[in-house]
Amino acid sequence: MQDVNKSGIFQRGFDRIQSVFDDRYNIDSHIEALDKAAIELGEFVKKREGRHVEYDGGCHGVGIYRDKKVAIQKAVMDKDSVFAKHHHDGRTEILIVTTGKLEVWIDGLGTQIVTKDNRNPIYFTPGQEHSVKALEYTEMVGIIVPANGEGYPDAR
């Protein structure tokens, strides 16, 4: 099986996504300041080994891609596992459920049920508190922009 990071197929797609974010946000000027900010998600990391991160509450993530501007991971949650309430200062997070069912709580918006059939990404704006609970075994893709901090796994 060919390594997706070396194949170039995904890199071209990520470059296009990154250029859209670059056009919309002046990320480079904020990277250094954000690197100094408190690490919110990193506080939940129990164990880090290569591309794998184990979070408190029964969630596991595997890094797919990461640079300073964007990080992408595949995350897995067992039934009834909970990712506690947290937020991301200066960063936007997007979750896309590919298998299973999540109960998502977003500050100011309440609770919603998200499944793969919804086909709608969940957006968490910078500073917005949120938490998720797996109502059944759940797989998702997580994207965070920019990718500073310790929460998302490396992709090497």
d(CA 91, CA 111): 21
Q: What is the pLDDT of residue 74?
A: 93
CATH classification at residue 76: 2.60.120.10
Number of domains making up the chain: 1
152 falls within a domain: no
Domain span at residue 73 reads 4-145
155 falls within a domain: no
50 falls within a domain: yes
134 falls within a domain: yes
Q: What is the pLDDT of residue 79?
A: 94
Q: What is the pLDDT of residue 83?
A: 85
**Contact between residue 61 and residue 136 where contact means Cβ atoms under 8 Å apart:** no
86 falls within a domain: yes
pTM, 2 dp: 0.68
**Contacts (Cβ under 8 Å, ≥6 apart) of 132:** 77, 82, 83, 95, 102, 103, 104, 105
58 falls within a domain: yes
Q: What is the pLDDT of residue 15?
A: 57
For the chain (length 156 residues), average pLDDT per consecutive 10? 46 53 45 38 70 83 88 92 85 92 89 85 90 94 79 68
End-to-end CA distance of the chain: 16
> What would the pLDDT profile of 132-149 be if each residue is shown by its tens digit?
999 999 999 999 888 765
151 falls within a domain: no
105 falls within a domain: yes
Q: Hey, is 8 helix, strand or coil?
A: coil
Q: What is the pLDDT of residue 151?
A: 67
Nearest to 76 by CA among 57, 98, 61: 61
